[in-house]
Amino acid sequence: MSTKTQEELAAYRKQIRELAEGPFDEMQKEIEVTNKFPQEFFDLAIKNDLYRYYLPEEYGGWGLSELEILKIQEEFSHGPGGMRMHLHHAADLNWRILDDYGHEDLKKYIGMDKFQDKSVYINFALTEQTGGTGADIHTTAVKQPDGSYILNGEKWLISHTDCSDYTYVIAVTDPDDPKDSRLSAFVVDNHAPGFEIVPMPHMMGCRGAGHAGLRFTNVHLDPMFLLGEEGQGMEIAIHSLSISRVHIACSNLGMAQRMLEMSIKRSNDRITFGKPIAKRQMIKTQIANMAMNIHALRCMVYDFARDYDADPNNDQITQKAAMTKLFSIDTVKMVSDNMLEIFGGDGYFEDCPYGPTERLYRDCRAMWLEEGAPNVQRTTIAREVYNKNGQVKYLD
């Protein structure tokens, strides 16, 4: 049960949008060069409860539903992509994996109440440069006679490495098992001997989100740091990524909404041949298509959230999450392309008076890749469609 009224949540959403489009946008100019969040960003995020609002009451949070959480995420997604990437991860994978799969002694050791002010932050490491995210994972966690594990291997394209205390790692524990049960999930202390962060170049967009590789050399893991049970690693990854994929879709929703609003203002102001381009049928068509897809995407996000709130483990979660994320990519691609066309050459420059057109265009491209590229989503959707004979269920 939420500790906030609907009026309070509406005011909070407005507060977060103003923060994202104001102070966050302003400090991003420096981050584009340094590729690192200043302490001011974390301080403002803590001050504005951006590490608190999504947590259950028992952990110091507001006890919001998934739908209420996603509505707030849409607002901060109007801001810089790197900050959005960090804050959406904070609201989901960061704490939820430990809550869903951590044993009680591990939860107490790390402290679930420490997420509320970023006293604890946990990134997620699945992808590898030498393989993929499934059967060809090469990182190993070899069980020792005393029940502990020795972790060796590498991960790649991992976010938030510069501001995390721990890492969720998916590793092979049974190399002879041909099935997904060969994998297990662990929490790894980022300060453990043998844990190394491998720098990566600056990204095209979403700068500041601490992307790097990870290298594990004989990292010792106490049995307490095993998540769930041995062999449950792929299940943990798939379930967690399904929810996260909708958070990605919601990020696309927020960015697309801001691009639409900027495009409307630009089309009303831009005069050619004696009248605003907003009066021209081609521009009206583009604006209409942008608005239609954004509305459809918002409906998909809300539909998923209602399903998840009703039952986090219902059989529609994986299918709808992949569909929602894939549709969000198509939507933000079309909207960003139309925005640039409506702005013309002025939109290709930095410091556009209507908003960060060129940065938004770059930032949203990361969404093709976060939590699985489009073809990964199509593979998931096709599998679920065949398993369910093409049926999608909706709440009455």
Q: Enter the tokens of residue 217.
A: 């050399």
Residue 368 has pLDDT above 90, yes or no: no
Residue with tokens 């199509």: 378
Q: Is the pLDDT of residue 12 over 70?
A: yes
How many residues comprise the chain? Answer: 396
CA distance 42 to 32: 17
Q: Is the pLDDT of residue 131 over 80?
A: no
Question: Per-residue confidence at 132, pLDDT binned at 50, 70, 90?
Answer: low
Ranges 82-86, 175-179, 290-294: which has the least confidence: 175-179
Confidence of residue 203 (pLDDT cuts 50, 70, 90): confident
Query: Can you tell me whether residue 198 is helix, strand or coil?
Result: strand
Binned at pLDDT 50, 70 and 90, residue 345 comes out as: very high
For position 134, what pLDDT does the model report?
Answer: 61
In the chain the beta strands, taken as DSSP E runs, fall at 122-125, 140-143, 149-158, 166-172, 183-189, 195-199, 212-221, 226-227, 271-272, 275-276
Residue 295 exposed, middle or buried by CB count within 10 Å (0-12, 13-18, 19+): exposed
Q: Residue 248 above 80 pLDDT? A: yes
pLDDT reported for residue 135: 63
- Whose tokens are 């900027």? That residue is 262
Residue in the block written with tokens 């491209």: 365
pLDDT for the residue 202: 86
Q: 138: which DSSP letter?
A: -
Parallel, antiparallel, or unpaired: how do β-strands 122-125 and 149-158 relate? unpaired
**Structure-derived torsion over alpha carbons of residues 252, 253, 259, 260, reported in degrees to the nearest 10:** 150
State residue 251 phi and psi, 5-degree precision: -60, -45
Question: What are the tens digits of pLDDT across the range 64-109?
Answer: 999 999 999 999 999 999 999 999 999 999 999 999 999 999 999 9
Q: Are 168 and 97 in contact (CB under 8 A)?
A: yes
Domains of the chain (ranges; CATH) run 6-117 (1.10.540.10), 122-232 (2.40.110.10), 234-387 (1.20.140.10)
Residue type, 359: R
Mean pLDDT, the chain, rounded, equals 94
Q: How far is CA 220 from CA 26, 158, 231, 354, 386, in A?
A: 43, 21, 19, 52, 42
